[in-house]
Amino acid sequence: MADLIIMRTDATKEDINRVVEKIEKLGFKAHVSKGTERTIIGIIGDTREVSDETFRLLPGVSEVISILKEYKLASREFHPKDTIIDVNGIKIGEGYFVVMAGPCSVESKEQLLFTGKFVKQHGCKILRGGIFKPRTSPYSFLGLGKEGLKILKEVKEELKISVITEVLSPEEVELVSQVSDILQIGTRNMFNYRLLQRVGKINKPVLLKRNFSAKISEFLNCAEYILKEGNSNVILCERGIRTFDSEFTRNILDLSSIPVLKKETYLPVIVDPSHGTGRRDLVIPMSKAAIAAGADGLLIEVHPKPEEALSDGYQSITFDMFEKLMDDIKPFLNIMGKKM
Ligand code: PEP
Ligand code: MN
């Protein structure tokens, strides 16, 4: 079985092309990843019948690796070094830490502008705000929709800040990506394969949230769906899972998934302690814990008046708490060698 062809550092363009042609001749697609030192070529498809020998003796080939996991493009083997995702010059991953913060839902221009100004002033580089809200009850606030997108665009331009918002369906990807710098795929849609394939075809970062009932391997396979379509800008987000115990918290924030993911994949891993716990008072402690476990960033819900929020007020932190959070995480970032 052959999945990855690691080229020698002195492999020529011709050597690389020869391998790509061979892969295509066998009826597979080749995925070429040019690193600073060497090129790795992935064979996309069911490679069980492809022997290592087919490639091992070709000029310029250093090693042929078979990956026994279902996900290949998402695996560390494919890309040994952490990747850096660039969002308008903001770096995420490989030592670059990012805080994305803002309200659960965009409720009005005034609310988003006020929140955005505050979080920006305190070091947040990416403003979050849901406009299409997937809610448990269809009678809950479902977001402002297109009107919200307009607000997001205006606030983004006024504050000169990058923004992230959730996209719910393949049909809305085009529209949302006209405004949003990162497309968020929510926990409920992690398994929406059509949506994953659709965002795989655009050239914008995607933040993929772990489904609340998904195994880590399922999470990585869903990232693979996006990567396979050609979009390599995938950010993973741990946001808590369901277990037997919902007595004190809304979800169980699976912090052990962070080092597991960091071992399995090179993609940045960010943590959402707001949905992960469902409780405002747990956001700061779990943010520190997430950094200590190796997270590359945080996704935080902040609201000027959480008690009046139209969604997730109970877990949204106040402005004062946000300021404290940004101060409190500094020593943890220093210890972990992360730059913000
Ligand atoms: C959100 O970030 O607003 C959200 C709905 O998150 P999740 O999909 O994790 O529930
Ligand atoms: Mn929310």
pLDDT digit string (tens) for the chain, length 340 residues: 789 999 999 999 999 999 999 999 999 999 999 988 899 999 988 888 888 888 999 999 999 998 878 899 999 998 989 999 999 999 999 999 999 999 999 999 999 999 999 999 999 999 999 999 999 999 999 999 999 999 999 999 999 999 999 999 999 999 999 999 999 999 999 999 999 999 999 999 999 999 999 999 999 999 999 999 999 999 999 999 999 999 999 999 999 999 999 999 999 999 999 999 999 999 999 999 999 999 999 999 999 999 999 999 999 999 999 999 999 999 999 999 999 9
- Within 10 Å of residue 85's Cβ, how many Cβ atoms? 23
Centre of ligand 2 to C-alpha 275, Å, is 6
| 102 domain-assigned | yes
| Residue 246 burial by Cβ neighbours in a 10 Å radius (0-12, 13-18, 19+) | exposed
| 284 domain-assigned | yes
Q: Which ligand is nearest to the CA of 299?
A: 1
Do 139 and 22 belong together in one domain?
no
Q: How high is the pLDDT of residue 260?
A: 98
Q: Of 33, 65, 97, which residue is a domain's last?
A: 65
Do 40 and 9 belong together in one domain?
yes
Model confidence, pTM: 0.93
Q: How high is the pLDDT of residue 18?
A: 96
| 72 domain-assigned | no
Question: Which residue range is the domain that position 28 belongs to?
Answer: 4-65
Do 29 and 107 belong together in one domain?
no
Atom of ligand 1 nearest to the CA of 134: 5
Instruction: Supply the DSSP symbol for 188.
Output: G
| 244 domain-assigned | yes
Bin 95: left if φ > 0, else alpha if -120 < ψ < 50, else beta: left
Centre of ligand 2 to C-alpha 127, Å, is 14
Do 56 and 200 belong together in one domain?
no
DSSP assignments along 255-298, one per residue: TTHHHHHHHH--S-EEE-HHHHHS-GGGHHHHHHHHHHTT-SEE
Number of H helices, E strands in the chain: 12, 14
Centre of ligand 1 to C-alpha 87, Å, is 20
The residue whose CA is least distant from atom 10 of ligand 1 is 187
Do 34 and 126 belong together in one domain?
no
Number of domains in the chain: 2
The predicted-structure confidence for 286-327, as pLDDT tens digits, reads as follows 999 999 999 999 999 999 999 999 999 999 999 999 999 999
Do 191 and 117 belong together in one domain?
yes
- Pairwise CA distance, residues 194 & 83, whole Å: 25
Centre of ligand 1 to C-alpha 20, Å, is 40
Do 37 and 133 belong together in one domain?
no
| 90 domain-assigned | yes
- Pairwise CA distance, residues 223 & 202, whole Å: 14
| Contact of 255 with 282, CB cutoff 8 Å | no
Do 34 and 95 belong together in one domain?
no
Do 53 and 111 belong together in one domain?
no
Do 166 and 297 belong together in one domain?
yes
The CATH number for 11's domain is 3.30.70.1140
| 79 domain-assigned | no
Q: How high is the pLDDT of residue 1?
A: 78
The CATH number for 308's domain is 3.20.20.70
Ligand 1: residues within 6 Å at CB? Answer: 104, 130, 186-187, 209, 239, 275
Helix 319-328 with 109-121: angle, nearest 10 deg:
30
241, 252, 275, 276 from 247: Cα distances, Å: 14, 11, 15, 14
Centre of ligand 2 to C-alpha 103, Å, is 8
Look at residue 299 and give its three-state secondary structure: strand
Q: How high is the pLDDT of residue 49?
A: 83
| 70 domain-assigned | no
Do 119 and 21 belong together in one domain?
no
- Pairwise CA distance, residues 21 & 28, whole Å: 10
The residue whose CA is least distant from atom 1 of ligand 1 is 104
The predicted-structure confidence for 178-231, as pLDDT tens digits, reads as follows 999 999 999 999 999 999 999 999 999 999 999 999 999 999 999 999 999 999
Quote helix, strand, coil % in the chain, to nearest 5: 35, 20, 45
- Pairwise CA distance, residues 269 & 31, whole Å: 23
| 215 domain-assigned | yes
Do 32 and 152 belong together in one domain?
no
Q: Which of 187, 238, 250 to mutate to test the pocket of ligand 1 (most atoms within 8 A of CB)?
A: 187
